[in-house]
């Protein structure tokens, strides 16, 4: 049985946490570790993008299946094993109510069930997973299929927060759900301040910004200026060090005060010049170091020596 499967049921975050990481065992710093971050496997986008019909296209996804299989195989070969594998949203391309959604979901589940059972999966909701204007029904569908849309967990004294970024982009159809996440986040950030965790790290699909906190609103690839500033200030006040996102299908990012915004390119369809890839993230007592690898690089060469030295450092 793989880490993605438990008793024949796809493994999911429940109760706003991951049972793979019991808080009572993981709340204290234990030394350096690393995890793997991927984004946007988005089964179906490559065909849709190539035909110029992103709203209704996407009736083929063999390329994405092969790329995600390559990603999983590369991760399974890593030694030592990562603490977990996080996918930062847009798991599939077909939005709620669109054709091929069920088939894309089942194919992605099939691939993810081959992740090594010792490597838990952390799944983040994206706009294609719950819709650009999510409703209570689309959020519930995601939760039933993939697990909670927002939750927290501890690993070795580090607090990880998974957010539903669509609530910041367009909560018009589900304001009460957005309010519930806001209240929950305030509680989690209060815990981060009180517990003096080694680090606090956020995962969400849509970036706060692509390069600068003051950049123009994109209406799609970043959050609006007032929203991003309010959220960033709240995270900084609680000691959050870094936000990891996908969505852009290109590598990007910047720094606001002492908060790093890391935008990671896709496993699936590329919209820029980056290769299909994964990001290796090393967490030490002092810092968080990350590097993007193409799938071919990680498959053939593994993690480079300087990062391995950080992981093994006592």
Residue 9 confidence class, pLDDT cut points 50, 70, 90: very low
pLDDT of 151 strictly over 80 = yes
pLDDT of 1 strictly over 80 = no
Tell me if the bond preceding 5 is cis, omega within 30° of 0: no
| DSSP β-ladder status, 33-38 and 277-283 | antiparallel
- The reported pLDDT for the residue numbered 154 is 97
Q: What is the mean pLDDT of the chain?
A: 94
Q: How far is CA 214 from CA 83, 103, 236, in A?
A: 34, 40, 16
- The reported pLDDT for the residue numbered 198 is 95
- Classify residue 312 as exposed, middle or buried by CB count within 10 Å of its CB (0-12, 13-18, 19+): exposed
Query: What number is the average pLDDT over the span 219-243?
Result: 97
E-strand ranges in 33-190 read 33-38, 85-87, 121-123, 151-155, 158-162
Positive or negative, the Cα torsion across 37, 42, 43, 46? negative
pLDDT of 86 strictly over 50 = yes
Q: What is the pLDDT of residues 249-258, one digit of tens each?
A: 999 999 999 9
Max Cα separation, the chain?
52
Give the C-alpha separation, 242 to 259, whole Å: 5
Residue 4 confidence class, pLDDT cut points 50, 70, 90: very low
- The reported pLDDT for the residue numbered 314 is 67
E-strand ranges in 247-311 read 252-256, 259-263, 277-283, 288-294
- The reported pLDDT for the residue numbered 7 is 38
Q: Enumerate the domain spans of the chain.
A: 17-312
Residue 11 confidence class, pLDDT cut points 50, 70, 90: low
Residue 2 confidence class, pLDDT cut points 50, 70, 90: very low
Domain 17-312 is of which CATH architecture?
4-Layer Sandwich (3.60)
User: What is the side-by-side order of every strand in the sheet holding 158-162?
Assistant: 151-155, 158-162, 199-203, 240-245, 259-263, 252-256
Residue 8 confidence class, pLDDT cut points 50, 70, 90: very low
Structure tokens given for 153: 């967990």
Tokens 């996080």, residue located: 86
Q: What is the pLDDT of residues 154-213, one digit of tens each?
A: 999 999 999 999 999 999 999 999 999 999 999 999 999 998 899 999 999 999 999 999
Q: What is the pLDDT of residues 29-46, one digit of tens each?
A: 999 999 999 999 999 999
Q: What is the pLDDT of residues 199-220, one digit of tens each?
A: 999 999 999 999 999 999 988 9
């Amino acid at each position: 049985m793989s880490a993605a499967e438990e008793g024949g049921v796809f493994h999911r975050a429940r109760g706003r946490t991951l049972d793979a990481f019991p808080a009572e065992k993981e709340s204290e710093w234990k030394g350096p570790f690393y995890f793997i971050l991927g984004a946007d496997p988005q089964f179906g986008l490559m065909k849709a993008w190539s035909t110029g019909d992103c709203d209704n296209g996407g009736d083929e996804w063999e390329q994405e299946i092969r790329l995600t299989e390559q990603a999983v195989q590369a991760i399974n070969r890593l030694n030592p094993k990562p603490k977990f594998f996080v996918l930062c949203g847009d798991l599939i391309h077909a939005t709620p109510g669109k054709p091929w959604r069920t088939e894309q979901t089942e194919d992605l589940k099939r691939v993810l069930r081959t992740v090594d059972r010792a490597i838990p999966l952390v799944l983040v909701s994206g706009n294609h997973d719950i819709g650009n204007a999510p409703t209570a029904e689309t959020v519930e569908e995601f939760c039933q299929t993939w697990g909670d849309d927002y939750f927290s967990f501890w690993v070795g004294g580090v607090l990880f927060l998974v957010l539903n970024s669509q609530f910041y982009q367009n909560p018009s159809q589900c304001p009460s759900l957005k309010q519930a996440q806001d209240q929950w986040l305030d509680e989690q950030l209060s815990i981060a301040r009180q517990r003096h965790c080694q680090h606090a790290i956020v995962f969400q699909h849509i970036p706060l910004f692509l390069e600068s906190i003051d950049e123009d609103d994109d209406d799609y690839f970043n959050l609006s200026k007032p929203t991003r500033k309010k959220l960033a200030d709240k995270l900084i006040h609680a000691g959050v060090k870094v936000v990891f996102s996908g969505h852009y299908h290109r590598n990007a990012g910047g720094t606001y005060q002492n908060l790093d915004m890391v935008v990671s390119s896709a496993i699936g369809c590329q919209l820029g010049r980056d290769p299909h890839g994964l990001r290796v993230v090393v967490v030490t007592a002092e810092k968080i170091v990350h590097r993007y690898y193409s799938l071919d690089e990680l498959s053939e060469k593994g993690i480079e020596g300087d990062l391995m030295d950080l992981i093994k450092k006592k």
